[in-house]
Amino acid sequence: MLDALVVRPGSAAELERRDPRDKLGLPEKEDAAEMLAELLEELSALQERLYAEGTRSVLLVLQGLDASGKDGTIRRVFTGVNPQGCYVTSFKAPSPVELAHDFLWRVHAQCPARGLIGIFNRSHYEDVVTVGVLGLAPEAVWRRRPERIVEFERLLADEGTMVLKCFLHVSIEEQRERFAERLSDPSKRWKHNPKDEETSRRFGEFTTAYDEALTATSTEWAPWYVIPADRNWVRNLAVATVLVEALRRLDPQFPHAPR
């Protein structure tokens, strides 16, 4: 599965060629639910070992257009993880204090300490894509940021943080359906944003900007995975697979008891 999802370093992301409704060869929803349950059980065990080992960390970056399912992914994939060793950071519009520093200042401060899994719900990539599409900074400023991000993520990797980046790839049809559902469902109405219409109208611009950003910043030490996000069950299983496979490679171990 991972081979189909990863953006190879030096290769184009080609989002337009990736189907947001792709089932990735998975069985039907009911069978996939069993697969996910097994992965989440393993995730819980691996996270406990990572926390106990206390020498390395994992950063999971979740990016995607509005209504791509970032919140839902976090709720479902991390449902059984010990909250003592895992935390979520949601990046909103920067505050005046944050704007007074470089664009990575607030991001670096939220990176996971050794032993922890950190999840970014949106991230430093907003300072490239959203800033660029909406013209919130001069082009000369945001155009140089991907190179800075590559260097920053190399620093994290060199210091013991495994960086995993998942782009939740949603179609414009599914996005519009989810926007409509927000208005019709009282339990989701609070998510409605008056700017949703503009987001939908500029869907193509955001997708092109993400395509460029993913292509420029997928590296061996911080790869991008493009996750089909129209089907929630495929999305959740794919993200869980990315995370569990990465932790398997890390193979954290319980330390020996002190003598």
Encode pLDDT of 156-190 as tens digits: 999 999 999 999 999 999 999 999 988 888 888 88
User: Is 135 a member of any domain?
Assistant: yes
- C-alpha to C-alpha distance for 251 and 42, rounded to whole angstroms: 12
CB 225 within 8 A of CB 26: no
pLDDT digits (tens, 9 = 90+) for 39-48: 999 999 999 9
User: Is 86 a member of any domain?
Assistant: yes
Per-residue pLDDT at 195 exceeds 80: no
| pLDDT attached to residue 187 | 82
CB 211 within 8 A of CB 152: no
What CATH number should be reported for the domain holding residue 99? 3.40.50.300
Range of the domain at 216: 2-250
Amino acid at position 65, single letter = L
pLDDT digits (tens, 9 = 90+) for 92-141: 999 999 999 999 999 999 999 999 999 999 999 999 999 999 999 999 99
- Taking the alpha carbons at both ends of the chain, their separation in whole angstroms is 44
Measured CA distances, 26 to 1, 64, 213, 227 (Å): 9, 22, 28, 13
Residues 6+ apart with CB under 8 A from 238: 1, 5, 24, 166, 225, 227, 228
Nearest to 43 by CA among 247, 234, 230, 179: 247
β-bridge partners, 89: 120
- C-alpha to C-alpha distance for 71 and 84, rounded to whole angstroms: 19
**Chain-centroid distance, C-alpha 235:** 11
User: Is 60 a member of any domain?
Assistant: yes
User: Is 230 a member of any domain?
Assistant: yes
**Summary mean pLDDT of the chain:** 95
User: Is 257 a member of any domain?
Assistant: no
Burial class (CB in 10 A: 0-12, 13-18, 19+), 159: exposed
**Which residue spans within the chain are E strands per DSSP?**
6-7, 57-64, 86-90, 117-121, 161-169, 224-228
β-bridge partners, 140: none
**Chain-centroid distance, C-alpha 69:** 10
**Within 13 Å and on the Cβ side, how many CA atoms surround 163?**
22
| pLDDT attached to residue 15 | 97
Structural domain count of the chain: 1
- C-alpha to C-alpha distance for 202 and 80, rounded to whole angstroms: 37
| pLDDT attached to residue 71 | 95
User: Is 255 a member of any domain?
Assistant: no
Q: Can you give the pTM of this predicted structure? A: 0.95
Dihedral-angle region of residue 135 (phi above 0 means left; psi in -120 to 50 means alpha; beta otherwise): left
Grouping H, G, I as helix, E, B as strand and the rest as coil, residue 64 is strand
Q: How many CB atoms lie within 10 A of CB 48?
A: 16
Grouping H, G, I as helix, E, B as strand and the rest as coil, residue 83 is helix
User: Is 259 a member of any domain?
Assistant: no
User: Is 258 a member of any domain?
Assistant: no
- Dihedral sign from CA coordinates of 140, 145, 235, 106: negative
